[in-house]
Amino acid sequence: MHDQIMEVLTPRRMMTVGNLALQFEIKPEELDIHLKELDAAGRIRYALSKCNGVCSSCSTCSTSAGEEPLEENPAIDPTTIVISLEISGSDH
């Protein structure tokens, strides 16, 4: 399953957990163990800030307009953004 997740995620560079789950027609909670293992292996990371979709790339800035920054290990939910740390073969 790890390689299948990376095949979907890597060309896109980033996706929400919810959208990734839709790709496999499963519930986001079912991806949790696989995403944790991929994170531990250094193949993915989670966005460090809430994303409002305004920019075209992921930022490590804090949240906007006085919101509290996310804790170091935020709860993973369908809106959490997963970022591939691998380079797609089509990027060469």
pLDDT at 65: 42
Three-state SS at 46:
strand
Q: What are phi and psi of 61, to 5 degrees?
A: -70, 165
For residue range 5-24, list pLDDT tens digits in order: 999 999 999 999 999 999 99
| Model-wide pTM > 0.75 | no
Read off the tokens for 19.
Answer: 């959208």
User: The CATH number of 2-87 is which of 1.10.10, 1.10.150, 1.20.120, 1.20.1270?
Assistant: 1.10.10
pLDDT at 63: 44
pLDDT at 87: 86
In whole angstroms, give the CA distance from residue 26 to residue 15: 15
In whole angstroms, give the CA distance from residue 62 to residue 87: 26
What residues of the chain score a pLDDT lower than 70?
A: 48-75, 89-92
